[in-house]
């Protein structure tokens, strides 16, 4: 097989590797998938204004996030159930992250445990869903801290799960042999089989706490020394509330178009948030990234780094650890080239002067 030369080719190949249920779960969004499509379209709404006659013979993509030095401004987003894509699942992804010197954010709903992922040595954060069982939630936080996770990434946009019609149609649940690895030994928590519905939807309704408020961030911070990052912010006023409640980082995100359909694209929400919070906290973003130029535009609009989700799954499905590594390599090489062609030898040279929104006049 000829090796894919971009993320889109990996996506095409991955569809042929995955079961209908896994493909539907990974690839689709909520309801009419308006936000899912808009996350991609948003990048086309911005054009680049490159600088010329800059010495770009040496490029440096390194960045520091919450005091952690990373080789490039790309993190692996938290994604559940990675063993649906490949038997090694999150372990393969973690090993690829370790090789690349990149941060991986592990999902609460991973199919390999946080201890198993920690054993790979990869730089890592733990993504947390706050359960109704606060004792269970506290235990997850304490396990993550004891295993060397470097931040707690709290998802705040999912008091209930968005209605994903592919999951309803496929009656989504985990195949025999896969498990909620982080919860298996802690409580009688499983993904139910639900006729004519999604088992994940039922799980969220039964287990996840919809009463979560800003005050609960103080409770989380009281039980851990880990910096808290909130994921799912789309408004400047919410970003300022996050700062007031002591978070160290914000991830501008609409959950990959999988929650509120019709929500603003992450890229379109980004600059209002970075303008509002300034340097008070570090702002990252996810949603729709498929090219190095996408990353460049996000950095120019104020993101300190980006998180990449579905492309990692496509690489995992096609080639396991090697596939993930190659996807990360492709995105890194594209970003490095885009920086060079834009007159930006270092990440710190990227600023808002590099981008302008398309208008009717300049289409």
Residue 249 marked ligand-binding: no
Residue 80 marked ligand-binding: yes
DSSP for 246-264? T-SEEEE--GGGTSSTTPP
Indicate which residue of 86, 131, 255, 326 is catalytic: 255
For residue 131, indicate whether it is catalytic: no
Residue 129 marked ligand-binding: yes
Residue 155 marked ligand-binding: yes
Classified as helix, coil or strand, 290 is coil
Residue 346 marked ligand-binding: no
Residue 62 marked ligand-binding: no
Residue 289 marked ligand-binding: yes
Which secondary structure element, helix H or strand E, spans residue 277, and what is its range?
helix 266-277
What residues contact 109, with CB distance under 8 A and at least 6 apart?
A: 80, 81, 129, 180, 182
Classified as helix, coil or strand, 362 is coil
Residue 303 marked ligand-binding: no
Residue 169 marked ligand-binding: no
Residue 164 marked ligand-binding: yes
Distance between CA 74 and CA 40 in Å, rounded?
Answer: 17
Distance between CA 153 and CA 305 in Å, rounded?
Answer: 15
Residue 294 marked ligand-binding: no
Distance between CA 174 and CA 291 in Å, rounded?
Answer: 31
* Token couple for 276: 């509002």
Q: Which of 245, 283, 130, 110 is nearest to 184 (CA)?
A: 110
Residue 43 marked ligand-binding: no
Buried b (16+ CB within 10 A) or exposed e, 30-48: bbebebbebbbebbeebee
Residue 104 marked ligand-binding: no
Residue 275 marked ligand-binding: no
* Token couple for 15: 């569809």
Which positions make up the binding site for glyoxylate? 25, 129, 164, 255
Q: Which residues are catalytic?
A: 255
Which positions make up the binding site for FMN? 78-80, 107, 127, 155, 231, 253, 258, 286-290, 309-310
Which positions make up the binding site? 25, 78-80, 107, 127, 129, 155, 164, 231, 253, 255, 258, 286-290, 309-310
């Amino acid at each position: 097989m000829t090796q894919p030369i971009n993320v889109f080719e990996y996506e095409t190949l991955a569809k042929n590797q995955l079961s209908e249920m896994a493909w539907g779960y990974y690839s689709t969004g909520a309801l009419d998938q308006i936000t899912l499509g808009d996350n991609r379209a948003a990048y086309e709404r911005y054009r680049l204004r490159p600088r010329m006659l800059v010495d770009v013979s040496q490029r440096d993509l390194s960045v520091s996030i919450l005091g952690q030095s990373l080789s490039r401004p790309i993190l692996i987003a938290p994604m559940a159930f990675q063993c649906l894509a490949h038997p090694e699942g999150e372990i393969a992804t973690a090993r690829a992250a370790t090789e690349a010197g990149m941060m991986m954010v592990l999902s609460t709903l991973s199919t390999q445990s946080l201890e198993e992922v920690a054993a790979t040595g990869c730089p890592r954060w733990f993504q947390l869903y706050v359960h109704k069982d606060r004792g269970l939630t506290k235990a997850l936080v304490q396990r993550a801290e004891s295993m060397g996770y470097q931040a707690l990434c709290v998802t705040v946009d999912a008091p209930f799960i968005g209605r994903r019609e592919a999951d309803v149609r496929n009656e989504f649940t985990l195949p025999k042999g896969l498990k909620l690895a982080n919860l298996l030994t802690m409580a009688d928590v499983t993904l139910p089989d639900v006729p004519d519905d999604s088992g994940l939807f039922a799980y969220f309704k039964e287990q996840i706490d919809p009463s979560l408020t800003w005050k609960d961030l103080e409770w989380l911070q009281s039980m851990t020394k880990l910096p808290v990052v909130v994921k799912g912010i789309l408004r400047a006023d919410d970003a300022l509330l996050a700062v007031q409640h002591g978070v160290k980082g914000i991830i501008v995100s609409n959950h990959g178009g999988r929650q509120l359909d019709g929500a603003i694209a992450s890229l379109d929400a980004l600059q209002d948030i970075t303008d509002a919070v300034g340097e008070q906290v570090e702002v990252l973003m996810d949603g729709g990234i498929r090219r190095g130029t996408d990353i460049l535009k996000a950095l120019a609009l104020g993101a300190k780094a980006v998180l990449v989700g579905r492309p990692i799954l496509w690489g995992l499905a096609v080639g396991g650890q090697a596939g993930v590594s190659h996807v990360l390599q492709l995105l890194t090489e594209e970003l490095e080239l885009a920086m060079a062609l834009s007159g930006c030898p270092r990440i710190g040279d990227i600023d808002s002067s590099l981008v302008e929104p398309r208008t009717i006049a300049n289409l």
